[in-house]
Structure 1
Amino acid sequence: MQEFGDFANIDIDKLLKTADGQFAQMEELQKTMADLVGRAQDEDGLVVVEYSAEGLHELELHPKAMRLSSGELAEMIKEVVREAAADLQKQVSEAMGEVFGEEDNPMKFINDPEAALDQVRSAEASYNRTFEDVMGELDRIRRRLDL
């Protein structure tokens, strides 16, 4: 009879307790993420933006902003919105870093898609090795049973 290796020694209670803790952390993360708001303003305070998960949350224009040309105002608004979105992204990354740890923080892949692809390729290679091992074992069983 073949042994189950380390699988036979798994502490199920510890595994379930760890999973429960992770689910609780994820629930807390979801609540935290819903409350996050990125904020930014231009250096003169003419345009103030709040950006949330739903998108542009608040846009305040100081009356002096109306003295700018429409093109200047549009560019200023776009830049401040980008800065507020970046602020939100930074907050999300920090919140996820607290839950997952900095090493396993999935937000690190946003600016480095090649690293994400490397992780996918590694997982694919592992899957392929496991699949080949299982199929080889099934083939040995088939031959042994003369099927």
Structure 2
Amino acid sequence: MTPVTDFGDFGNIDIDKLLHSLEDQVSKSEQVQKSMGRLVGRGEDDDGLVVVEYAHDGLRTLDIRPKAMRLSSGELSERIKAVLQDAIEDLQRQIDEFMTETYGKEANPMRMIDNPAALLKDVRRAEGSYERAFEDVMGELTRIRRELDL
């Protein structure tokens, strides 16, 4: 019987590098959780009559200056909605910048949300790699079974 020493690509895995990478990802995830609470998007209309602050937990501040009461209810409503949208977009931009700083441009998890087609492509590529690895393992198990006459 021949000893099994060939593990293909799995035999070349640098365990220390893998563990360091996992520790780095956990550290980055903890940093993201702590930092997200500090990000606040801000929006303000051109006249400074309506100011909004928006964070991960929702609307934090809605300031309506007294002068805004001269606007019609419809116009005030439209300004509030527009300023709120600006604040949400500002928060989203800050999150994207933070995630890019933390993970890098290519590994930014927000990239997946913005480009689902790229995510699907990555999933399909991973699926192909998984299927090849599974076939390799099953082939190796079949070879071992034959060698052992099982």
TM over 0.5: yes
Structure 1, unaligned runs of 5 or more: none
What per-residue deviation string (whole Å, max 9, x for no partner) do you get for residues 92-144 of structure 1? 11111111111211112222111111111111111122122222222333334
> Corresponding residue for 1:67?
70
Q: Report deviation, 1:59.
A: 0.7
1:71-92 per-position Cα deviation (integer Å, ceiling 9, x unaligned): 2222221111111111111111
Q: How far 1:3 moved relative to its partner? A: 3.0
Paired residue type of 2:40: V
Q: C-alpha displacement at 1:63, in angstroms?
A: 1.6
Cα distance change on mapping 1:125 and 1:146 into 2, 3 Å = same
Aligned match for 1:34, one of 37, 54, 58: 37
Give, as a single letter, the amino acid of the residue that structure 2 aligns with 1:75: E
Pair 1:6–1:126, CA change in 2 (3 A): closer
Q: Are 1:130 and 2:136 counterparts? A: no
In the alignment, the residues of structure 2 paired with residue 130 and residue 13 of structure 1 have an alpha-carbon distance, to the nearest angstrom, of 22
What is the rounded CA distance, in whole Å, between the counterparts of 2:144 and 2:60 in structure 1? 62
> Structure 2 counterpart of 1:38, which letter?
G
Q: Check conservation: 1:38, 1:52, Cα contact below 8 A.
A: yes
Residues of 2 paired with 1:126 and 1:6: CA distance?
Answer: 12
- Equivalent positions of 1:51-66 (< 5 A) are 51-66=54-69
Alpha-carbon RMSD across the aligned residues, in angstroms, is 2.2
The answer on 1:92 being equivalent to 2:91 is no
Taking a change above 3 Å as real, the CA distance of residues 116 and 21 of structure 1, as seen in their structure-2 partners, is closer
Structure 2: how far apart are the matches of 1:129 and 1:3?
17
| Higher deviation after alignment, 137-146 or 32-41 | 137-146
The answer to whether the 8 Å contact 1:26/1:99 transfers is: no
The 10-residue stretch of structure 1 (16-25 or 101-110) with the greater mean CA deviation from structure 2: 16-25
Offset of residue 69 of structure 1: 2.3
| TM-score, normalization by structure 1 | 0.84
Structure 2 residues without counterparts, runs of 5 or longer? none
Cα deviation for residue 9 of structure 1 reads 5.8
Distance 2:132 2:11 in 1: 22
